[in-house]
């Protein structure tokens, strides 16, 4: 998959939201490694290894990694991303679903994806 193919598959709106997620909540290579490890972990490992980084609000079911603006969860196949600001204030889209493989692709190509989508 290429960045261009990803944007074509998901469209401009979803791609812009994902670029915003990468910009707001994924800093350096340490963040990328942490997110990848979290997405690959089973629920008990997530609680044990990432307990202090988990979202503690009770309105979402599942185990979400807390970020600056976004929370993220995975069932091993699908990644669930919630923009908590958009959710609170009615922005669109507030929730996104992509595969774990696609999320890993975006994390690996963050520095290519963000400028392609945003023009920055």
Residue 56 pLDDT level (bands cut at 50, 70, 90):
confident
Indicate if the alpha-carbon torsion angle 114, 98, 56, 89 is positive or negative: positive
CA–CA distance, 38 with 45 (Å, rounded to integer): 9
Place of tokens 């812009």: 16
Q: Which of 4-8, 79-83, 84-88 has the lowest mean pLDDT?
A: 84-88
Query: What are the φ and ψ backbone dihedral angles of 89, each rounded to 5 degrees?
Result: -105, 5
Residue 107, pLDDT > 80, answer yes
Domain interval for residue 68: 3-118
Closest CA to 21 of 81, 97, 102: 81
Query: In total, how many domains does the chain have?
Result: 1
3-class SS at 90?
Answer: coil
Closest CA relative to residue 96, chosen from 44, 46, 25: 25
């Amino acid at each position: 998959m290429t960045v261009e193919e990803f944007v074509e598959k998901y469209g401009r709106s979803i791609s812009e939201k994902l670029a915003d997620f990468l910009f707001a909540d994924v800093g350096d290579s340490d963040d990328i490694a942490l997110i990848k490890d979290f997405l690959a972990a089973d629920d008990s490992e997530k609680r044990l290894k990432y307990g202090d980084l988990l979202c503690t609000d009770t309105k979402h079911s599942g185990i979400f990694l807390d970020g600056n603006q976004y929370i993220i969860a995975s069932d091993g196949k699908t990644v669930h991303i919630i923009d908590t600001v958009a959710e609170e204030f009615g922005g669109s889209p507030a929730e996104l679903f992509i595969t774990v493989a696609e999320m890993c692709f975006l994390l690996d190509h963050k520095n290519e994806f963000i400028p392609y989508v945003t023009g920055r």
